Amino acid sequence: MKEKFCRDITEGKTYLGIELGSTRIKAVLVTASGEPIASGGHDWENKFENNIWTYSLEDVRTGITDCFSKLKQDVRDKYGVPLTQVSSIGISAMMHGYLAFDKDDNLLVPFRTWRNTMTDEAASRLTKEFNFNIPQRWSIAHLYGAMLNNENHIDKISKITTLSGYVHYLLTGEFVLGVGDASGVFPIDSETNDYEKSMIEKFNQKLAEKGLKYRLEDILPKVLATGENAGVLTEQGAKLLDPAGEFKAGAPLCPPEGDAGTGMVATNSISERTGNVSAGTSIFAMIVLEKPLSKVYEQIDIVTTPTGKPVAMVHCNNGSSDIDAWANLFVEFSKLSGNEMSKGKVLDLLFETALSGDSDCGGLFSCNYISGEHITGFSQGRPLFARTQNCRFNLSNFFRNHLYSAVSSLKVGMNILQKENVKIDRLLGHGGYFKARDAGQTVLASATGAPVSVMETAGEGGSYGVALLASYMMNKNGRTLDEFLNQDIFKDSKISTIVPTDEQISGFEKYFDRYLKGLNIEAAAVESLE
C-alpha cells in the first residue's frame, strides 16, 4: 500500500484540502478513494482587539504556509518522496464574518469573524424586512451594521467575502464562493443556487438611500455550484503555499466552502433527513430539510448544503473553548506534580472519567460562554462554574458537567426543530469533541434523545470534506455528489453508533433545566465582572 501511495503522490493523483478553523489550520492529502494519507497543521487563535474578535491577514498567510510545510514534511517522512503536485485543491474555512476590501485589495477594517455579536440592530431589521432569519454573524449583517453606523469605509468597498473566499482569491485570483459558504453571506435561492434576487433588490435600495454608488451584486463573490472549476493555482498562489518552490502551479481548485458544508461532506450528511453536529470552538448542527419550517426562528439559520439544498443550522458561538481552558489547568498541575502530561492525554483522561459521572452531573452547573451567545440572548460571555453545598462534587461529575454545558445551547435550537417535527434518520458527530468517541457521542445522544454516529474520519473535519469536494470535481463522471460519496468514498466506511438510554436522556433533561435557570447567574456575571 505504501508503494501505491508513493506512486499516487509522485504522479499527482492525490487531492488536497486545507481548512482554516478557529484554533487550527489543517491540510490533508487524500487518495481517489478518500483515504487520508498525510496531514499538516498550524495552531492559531483569534484575538479580541478593540472589542472585535479577529485574526490578522498576515497570520492567515503565514499560517497557511506553515501548515503546508508540515504537510510536505509528513509526506516526506512517511513516503520518502517530495510533494510537488496534486490533481486538485479545495479551501474551507470558518463561515460568515466580514472581510471588506477596496479596489486595490486593501483590507478596509480588521477581519470581523463569526464570533462577534455587534450587529444586533442590523440583523433584526434585515430579518424583519426579508422575512428570513439573518443572524448577527452573517456577512450581510456586518455590512448593513457598518452602514447604520455610518462607518467611513463603506463608500470605498469594492468587494466583501469570507475567509475561504479570501484564501481562494490569494491562490487563484478568482473572486468566487461555493453555494454553501455563500448561503452564510446572503440568503440563497435553492432553485437557482444563487443569491435571492428580490432580497438583493431590497438591499440595493438601502445602498442607494445611503448614496453608495455600487450595487450589492457588484461586491459579492460569484456563486459556484459543487463540482464546478473555480480556477487554478497561480504561480503566486503556489509560492504562498510553498516558498521553497517545489510545489507546482496549475492545479485546479473547487469552489471554496464554509466549514459547515465541508463538515456535512466529511460525514456524508448532505441528503434529506440526515444531519451532523460539528463540535469544536463553536458547535453547530446542520439538518437537511425535507420541507420549509413553518415560520422564521431567530435561533435557526437557513443555509444550504454544498449542492444547494436547504439546511436548518443551529449555530452556537461557544463550544469546547472552556473545556480546553480547564484541560490547560490540569496540564499545569501535572507539571507541578513532576508527572507532566500532554494536553491530549489530559483530555483523553477527562473525557473518559466523565463517562462514569452521574447522568445529571450531580447537581453541578457551568456556563461555557467565552463570547456572546445569540441563541440564548447574550451579547457577552463570562465562563463560570457553580455548585451547591450538597452537590456530588467529584472529578467525573465536574467534567461531565462541562461536556453537557458545551451542548446545552445547541439543545435550545434542536428542541425547536423537534417541535417543527423535523425528521432526522441519521445524526453524525465530528470535530475534536468526538475524538474520545464514547464520551462526546454519549453526551450528544443524551442531549438530543437520538442515536449519534461517528465515522473513522471524525477527527479530520472540514479539511477532509473539502478534499473530497476537490476529488469530486475531477471524478464526478456525471454523478451527483450524493452518488459520488456513497459509491466511491463511504461505501465501506466504519461507523460507531451510540443509542442513549432512558436514564441518560432523563439525566440530561434535569441538567438542562438547571442550565436554563443558571443563565440568570451568567447574566449577573456579565453585568458584574468587567
Q: How confident is the model at residue 142 (pLDDT cuts 50, 70, 90)?
A: very high
- Report whether pLDDT(295) > 90: yes
Nearby residues of 202 by Cβ (< 8 Å), 6 or more positions away: 129, 130
pLDDT at 374: 87
Distances (CA, A) of 515 to 57, 259, 278, 369, 446: 38, 28, 21, 12, 15
Buried b (16+ CB within 10 A) or exposed e, 259-290: bbbbbbbbbbbbbeebbbbbbbbbbbbbbbbe
Q: How confident is the model at residue 459 (pLDDT cuts 50, 70, 90)?
A: low
Amino acid sitting at position 395: L
pLDDT at 10: 92
Quick check: 152 and 106 in contact, CB under 8 A?
no
* pLDDT tens readout for residues 333-378: 999 999 999 999 999 999 999 999 999 999 999 999 999 998 999 9
DSSP string, 440-488: HHHHHHHHHTS-EEEETTTTTTHHHHHHHHHHHHHH-TT--HHHHIIII
pLDDT at 461: 76
* pLDDT tens readout for residues 391-411: 999 999 999 999 999 999 999
Q: From CA 173, how far away is CA 88, in angstroms rounded?
A: 16
Percentage of the chain modeled with pLDDT above 90: 85
What number of residues does the chain have?
Answer: 530
pLDDT at 101: 98
Nearby residues of 125 by Cβ (< 8 Å), 6 or more positions away: 144, 148
Q: From CA 365, how far away is CA 385, in angstroms rounded?
A: 6
Q: How confident is the model at residue 436 (pLDDT cuts 50, 70, 90)?
A: confident
Q: How confident is the model at residue 492 (pLDDT cuts 50, 70, 90)?
A: confident
User: Which domains are delineated in the chain?
Assistant: 1-94+233-266+459-499 (3.30.420.40), 96-161+186-219 (3.30.420.40), 268-457+500-530 (3.30.420.40)
pLDDT at 293: 94
Quick check: 221 and 175 in contact, CB under 8 A?
yes
Q: From CA 95, how far away is CA 257, in angstroms rounded?
A: 8
Mean pLDDT score across all residues of the chain: 94
- Report whether pLDDT(281) > 90: no
pLDDT higher at 461 or 32: 32
Q: How confident is the model at residue 208 (pLDDT cuts 50, 70, 90)?
A: very high
C-alpha distance across the termini of the chain, in Å: 57
Q: From CA 226, how far away is CA 308, in angstroms rounded?
A: 9
Q: From CA 80, how far away is CA 70, in angstroms rounded?
A: 14
* pLDDT tens readout for residues 296-339: 998 999 999 999 999 999 999 999 999 999 999 999 999 999 99
pLDDT at 437: 66
Task: Collapse the DSSP code of 80 into the 3-class scheme (helix H, G, I; strand E, B; otherwise coil) and give the result.
Answer: coil
Region 471-491: mean pLDDT is 95
pLDDT at 64: 98
pLDDT at 412: 95
DSSP string, 128-197: HHHTS---TTSHHHHHHHHHHTT-TTGGG-SEEE-HHHHHHHHHH---EEEHHHHTTTS-EETTTTEE-H
Q: Which of 230, 263, 277, 224 is nearest to 426 (CA)?
A: 277
One-letter-per-residue 3-state SS of 324-356: HHHHHHHHHHHHHHCCCCCHHHHHHHHHHHHCC
Residue recorded with cell 470558518: 94
Backbone angles phi, psi at 403, to 5 degrees: -65, -40
Grid cell listed for 191: 432553485
* pLDDT tens readout for residues 173-194: 999 999 999 999 999 998 999 9
Output the furthest CA–CA distance in the chain (Å, rounded).
66
pLDDT at 4: 86
Grid cell listed for 494: 466504519
Quick check: 119 and 141 in contact, CB under 8 A?
yes
* pLDDT tens readout for residues 68-89: 999 999 999 999 999 999 999 9
The separation between CA 50 and the C-alpha centre of its own chain, rounded to angstroms, equals 24
Grid cell listed for 84: 510537488
pLDDT at 282: 86
* pLDDT tens readout for residues 211-262: 999 999 999 999 999 999 999 999 999 999 999 999 999 999 999 999 989 9
Grid cell listed for 314: 443551529
pLDDT at 474: 97
Quick check: 456 and 76 in contact, CB under 8 A?
no
Cα angle: 367, vertex 48, 183; to 5 degrees: 80
Q: How confident is the model at residue 495 (pLDDT cuts 50, 70, 90)?
A: confident
pLDDT at 458: 55
pLDDT at 425: 85
pLDDT at 457: 60
pLDDT at 357: 96
Q: From CA 189, how far away is CA 195, in angstroms rounded?
A: 6
- Report whether pLDDT(121) > 60: yes
Give the pTM: 0.85
Quick check: 368 and 388 in contact, CB under 8 A?
no
Q: How confident is the model at residue 1 (pLDDT cuts 50, 70, 90)?
A: confident
Q: From CA 86, how far away is CA 508, in angstroms rounded?
A: 47
Region 114-141: mean pLDDT is 94
pLDDT at 65: 98
pLDDT at 431: 79
